[in-house]
Chains A and B, each alone.
Chain A
Amino acid sequence: QQQVKQSPQSLIVQKGGISIINCAYENTAFDYFPWYQQFPGKGPALLIAIRPDVSEKKEGRFTISFNKSAKQFSLHIMDSQPGDSATYFCAASWGAASKLTFGTGTRLQVTL
């Protein structure tokens, strides 16, 4: 059972534009929602994370928006740069942060 649905599967954004990736979850017990960035040949790296008691969290050019009632959260990358080209995964967990349920990933390409 897929518990975290992620869209789009791929995304092409021009340099300086805004990249938006969306995720929806089913399990209302989830209480930790991180986003990971993965470059080819590397393991995923934590980008930013949020808890459901906060509707938005911003770190530099990266912002998570969280809608608890809709069971949705999204990642916004402002002023997207070619170096942001990577695969992004949303995830969710409850109880134990080590047991993450991941979305299917979004391959982002930022063009010049």
Chain B
Amino acid sequence: KAGVTQTPRYLIKTRGQQVTLSCSPISGHRSVSWYQQTPGQGLQFLFEYFSETQRNKGNFPGRFSGRQFSNSRSEMNVSTLELGDSALYLCASSLSGGSAGANVLTFGAGSRLTVL
């Protein structure tokens, strides 16, 4: 059974550019969540999508956005990149989310973004 696949694994951008990251969840999983991991702030929740709708959102500026497609694949976009956006962006999928503890989150290996 394939795990959560994130592409690209590594990318380098310059300030002011935008970036799109992709996530393919485990087959059958309908919930996709995104997290940002940095040495300073740790793991922080960005947003969650379920059935193509954003169900939860963390405390990030509007430059961070996402979407989910009908096949549950998800993308996140960061516009007007800042140096502080350099991080490992992790995608996690679960069957449906919603009920606490009812669904295990399975994380991908992440996309490491470096902003120069």
Q: Which residues of A contact B (CB under 8 A)?
A: 31-32, 34, 36, 41-46, 49, 51, 89, 91, 93-105
Contact = CB atoms under 8 A, between A and B. Distances in A.
Interface residues of B, number: 29
Chain A contact residues: over half helix, strand or loop, or mixed? loop
Interface string B91-106: 0101001111111111
Contacts of A104: 42
Given A89-B43, A102-B43, A41 B109 contact: yes
Given A43-B4, A98-B33, 7 more contacts: A43-B107, A44-B43, A45-B107, A97-B94, A99-B33, A99-B58, A100-B35
Contacts of A89: 42-43
Given A44-B43, A44-B90, A89-B43, A97 B97 contact: yes
B74 interface: no
Contacts of A97: 94, 97-103, 105
Most buried by A among B35, B103, B105: B105
B75 interface: no
